[in-house]
Amino acid sequence: MRRLALALVAVATTACATRDRPYRFASPMLGMAHTPPPAFHAPPAPRADEPVANRHAAPIRVTSAPRIREASAAAAAAIADAPTAQPDARAALPAPHRATTPAPLPRTLGDLRSLVGVRDKRTSLLLAIEWTHAVGLAPEGFAGTTGEDLVAWAEASHRLADATDEPRPGDLLVFDAAQSDDAADLVAIVIARDDRGVTEMLYLGGGVIRRGFVDASRPHKRRDDAQRVVNTYLRHGKRWPAKGSHYLAGELLAHVIHLR
């Protein structure tokens, strides 16, 4: 009993000592574990004689409204008069694709390289025939519209050679299944032949004039030991190729047509 009385006296003394001072944490055993909330400072009440307009801390001003209306009217007038007051700056930029007449064709095989990157909506056959006319090597008597027609004309006129025959500058190269599953679906013109025996050609692939290389004696070789191109990747179809499809120019070359 004496110990219990001493414990009660100690608790009462502690409670009296801490009753008049703030505390942050109390013993959870006594059910008083909490943090006192911060003091709330209410804003001062407005005076009765103060005007209502002065009770706002930041009064709203509308003095700029006339200026906004004037600026909006000026901007609308500028937009309305823009086509006549100021010409379109884009019209002054160089735009070859807007030309109404096509650019003159080069007159030599070497000058045909300047056409690389030009877009054209015609077929590779029609474009290659146009190039032969430009350099003075037009196939006389040919009036076909497909690559197979060109092969038939070359065979009848004794100008058709195998893919392994050495091409000469100005000759036409016929490729099979380069853009589709059809034979003779791509025609190119020979520009030059280097000391490696690799033929440089110009052709239309994917609607763009391109420069490529081909060597039928090494049909599966992409580059040589010096990392120079031997055979160009020639497929330009939009569909997924079938298993076993060839891609290199030397693998797809079917015929050489001599025009000289």
Q: How far apart are CA 61 and CA 65, in angstroms?
A: 9
- pLDDT top residue among 50 and 225: 225
Phi, psi of 85 (to 5 degrees): -80, -40
Q: What is the mean pLDDT of the chain?
A: 78
177-224 tens-digit pLDDT? 888 888 999 999 999 999 999 999 999 998 999 999 999 999 999 999
Q: Residue 96: beta bridge partners?
A: none
- N- to C-terminal Cα separation, the chain: 132
Identify whether the C-beta of residue 221 lies closer than 8 Å to the C-beta of residue 230.
Answer: yes
CATH number 3.40.190 is the correct assignment for the domain at 105-257 = no
Other CB atoms within 10 Å distance of the CB of residue 189: 27
Average pLDDT estimate for 120-129: 94
Structure-token match 């763009």, residue found:
208
Q: How many percent of the chain have pLDDT more than 70?
A: 58
pLDDT higher for 94 or 238?
A: 238
The pLDDT of residue 100 is 44
Q: Which range has the top average pLDDT, 16-25, 32-41, 172-181, 233-242?
A: 172-181
Evaluate if residue 238 carries a pLDDT over 70. Answer: no
- Which pTM value belongs to this model? 0.60
The whole-angstrom separation of Cα 181 and Cα 260 is 30
pLDDT at 246: 79
What DSSP character marks residue 180?
Answer: S
Give the pLDDT band (50/70/90) at residue 9: low
Phi, psi of 208 (to 5 degrees): -130, 135
The residue ranges of every structural domain in the chain are: 105-257
Spatial CB neighbours of 218, under 8 Å, sequence gap ≥ 6: 230, 231, 250
pLDDT surpasses 80 at 55: no
**Of 38 and 114, which is predicted with more confidence?**
114
Predicted confidence at residue 132, as pLDDT, reads: 95
Residue identified by tokens 């505390």 is: 23
